[in-house]
Structure 1
Amino acid sequence: MSKPLKLCVFCGQPKKMTSEHVWGEWTKRYVARTANKHNHANVFVPRPGQPEPPNVRIRAGDHLDAQVRIVCSDCNSGWLSQIQNDAKAALIPLFEGKPVVLDQAAQLAVATWITMATMTGEYLSQDDGRIAVPQSDRTWLMENRTPPAGWSIWIGHYPRQANPTQWVKASFPIVDADQLPNNLTEELLLPTMQTTAFSVGSLFAFAMSCHFPEIPRGWDWRTAPTARSLLRPIWPTSPTATDWPSLALSDNDAESFSAAAVRYFEDFAKRKGF
């Protein structure tokens, strides 16, 4: 008997899945693949102040060649490919660290590409129970070709250093404090917020999304304040054009920014006495 068809994570249709390159196979022309192995870090915070030990896997090959089989051929070769094509002109100078002016259209194209990579990259963990981005967000991206409202996205200039941040995801279960139940059930402990940091060439990207959109909108980097000067917000977009490159990130900066939200929830828990 033939195996049942899987559901595409975007259109939801039962079809044959194709291998989707998380960051796009086309990037090979502009970003060399030099690593024979890479780190893949995934941390889950089930309760405030109680992050699980990071699930760090050492994978073969360069992280930019990572693929996931969760997208149907129609989505892969159709609108997902179009998002890649629309963003290329703006992304290439970011990868290469070359001067460019990011107007509002370029900000949107790059932010949409980062959203796509974040959504597909979530499935690198091979743990569906830790998927924090809801189906409604993936449907929004498919139908509108923009990041959903409950997302905030920043980018930074990150020339390759000794130990570059490659892919770091953190996920959290966020509940409404005004309607907090007496007991936290397993369902309530499912992740509803995520942060993802990754680098491609000289581009550092950080995406935050949550079922409660006011959280990403209000994120002020209080646990990594240097991010306010080193990272540029591109979603929501700004009508003011952004000159690139910005000041360069160090390895320590990239590592600090990647874990900033985890530190915030740890500090919050200590203040509240959890």
Structure 2
Amino acid sequence: MAATCVFCGSADTLTGKHVLGDWLSKIGLDLDPVPHGAGWLNRIGRELGVRPPFRQKVRDVCGDCNHGWMSRLEVAAQRVLTPLILGHPGRIEAADQGAIAAWVQKTALTAMLVSSEADRDRGYGLPVSEYRELYALRDELRPLPASQFWAGQYEGVRGWSIRVTPLAVRVDGLPELDRPQAYAMTIVLGQLVLQGVRFTTASLQVELSTRLELPEFWPPAGPVTWPSGTPLHDGRFLDFAGGKNFRSTEQHIQVQPWQRATELEPSRAVGGMIELPTICGKHVVYYPAALVGEAMRGRFYAFGTTCECPMAYLIHTEPDGAHCKAADTAEGISELYEALPGEEYEIEDDDGSFWCKRLPSPFQQKMEP
């Protein structure tokens, strides 16, 4: 069976489509080679090698889409976003907001195509209908309906990042549904962060705002000045991209990460340590039970650890337990750990020394309603 374009369904020749437009390699961003990877949330991803950024391509898009409506979105994004990416104050004018929101959505959808065929066969990715519906709107320069988008300032060490997180609409007193009803799209480029939410179940759409009070540029309500709102730092990035930043305007309805995609199996006590299953599904790691007592007192910590794969993990303790925030090489996790704010502590017991960082108040505040 001949391959077809994931957006329009055409069986014409498929081309190599950049996940992030090639123009980003020409505006002055750092182009040093970095590790690339893709994969499921909270599981070990697929390594894609070390190379300069903005080179990743997918081959699921036809030439007409690539060089037609997608190219028009890239032109708009380059014109509007370049100053913001480089940290220069600016605005997203009302006339450009639909195109920028559509560009974020198109980029997120394209990034999901980096996944392997095996991952897609097991359910990884977004519904094909998302691609086809965005194609149907190609001449209208706007995103899919039931969507919201925000723009903010990023102050951290990541030069770029694309993350898509499935979300659940939760009604007080009712269990989480067996399928997500929305997804969050987060793109970091230089000093700019763009985030959007698309409700795939339109009847469950609720109005959202962000905990960082980022300005909303879609649906449009006039020009948006950048930067405004609270800057996003690396210490909050993983929760932000993981869909924990949203506030619902409905008192008894919340939009949160879909637990089946974002949570690990529960940990258990083993002597004076807590055993935590790792993302690989084959091993466990341990941390002192003293951190559980600290969490019960409202004091939360971060630490790095490794399993036998070997793979390294960044773990945060939170009111409902310990959560894996990232899986990477030991060097990569060490960099994320060092970038976290907070004072470092050593815990000594019969099992030896254990180093961790006390997370400052913003990590506690993020859990408040």
Q: TM-score, normalised by structure 1?
A: 0.75
**Partners in 1 of 2:126 and 2:208 — Cα distance?**
18
**Partners in 2 of 1:77 and 1:35 — Cα distance?**
27
Aligned partner of 1:138 among 134, 139, 160: 134
**Partners in 2 of 1:11 and 1:264 — Cα distance?**
31
Is 1:93 matched up with 2:91?
no
Contact kept, 8 Å, 2:30 with 2:159, in 1: the verdict is no
Aligned partner of 2:33 among 32, 35, 53: 35
| 1:232 counterpart residue number | 215
**Partners in 2 of 1:13 and 1:87 — Cα distance?**
26
Letter in 1 for 2:242: A
Is 1:79 matched up with 2:69?
yes
| 1:244 counterpart residue number | 226
Aligned partner of 2:43 among 27, 44, 54: 54
Aligned partner of 1:113 among 103, 106, 114: 103
Q: How many residues align?
A: 241
Aligned partner of 1:193 among 171, 182, 187: 182
Is 1:7 matched up with 2:4?
yes
Q: Deviations over 1:95-149 (max 9, x none)?
A: 1110112221132232121111012112122333323244243333324331011
Give the secondary structure class of the aligned counterpart of 1:130: coil
Give the secondary structure class of the aligned counterpart of 1:166: strand
Q: 1:37 to 1:102 in 2, by over 3 A?
A: same
More strand by share: 2
Task: Identify the structure with bigger relative contact order (alpha carbons < 8 Å, sequence gap 6+).
Answer: 1
Moved more, 136-145 or 193-202: 136-145
**Partners in 2 of 1:12 and 1:260 — Cα distance?**
31
Q: 1:157 to 1:40 in 2, by over 3 A?
A: farther
Is 1:152 matched up with 2:148?
yes
Contact kept, 8 Å, 1:41 with 1:55, in 2: the verdict is yes
Q: 1:261 to 1:125 in 2, by over 3 A?
A: farther
**Partners in 1 of 2:209 and 2:227 — Cα distance?**
22
Q: Deviations over 1:56-79 (max 9, x none)?
A: 344332453221111001111111
Q: Deviations over 1:141-193 (max 9, x none)?
A: 3243310112222221114x23566222222577999xx9xxx9xxx75x553
Letter in 1 for 2:133: D
| 2:17 counterpart residue number | 20
**Partners in 2 of 1:237 and 1:206 — Cα distance?**
15
**Partners in 1 of 2:150 and 2:67 — Cα distance?**
27
Aligned partner of 2:242 among 259, 264, 270: 259
Unmatched 5+ residue regions in structure 1? 44-52
Give the secondary structure class of the aligned counterpart of 1:92: helix
Pairwise CA distance, 1:198: 2.1
Q: Deviations over 1:210-248 (max 9, x none)?
A: 222355542344xxx2x22xx221111222x22212243
Letter in 2 for 1:244: W
Q: 1:115 to 1:208 in 2, by over 3 A?
A: same
**Partners in 2 of 1:12 and 1:110 — Cα distance?**
24
Q: 1:163 to 1:143 in 2, by over 3 A?
A: closer
Unmatched 5+ residue regions in structure 2? 246-254, 264-319, 321-369
Give the secondary structure class of the aligned counterpart of 1:37: strand
**Partners in 1 of 2:159 and 2:235 — Cα distance?**
9
**Partners in 2 of 1:131 and 1:192 — Cα distance?**
14
Greater Cα radius of gyration, structure 1 or 2: 2
Q: 1:259 to 1:28 in 2, by over 3 A?
A: same
Q: TM-score, normalised by structure 2?
A: 0.57
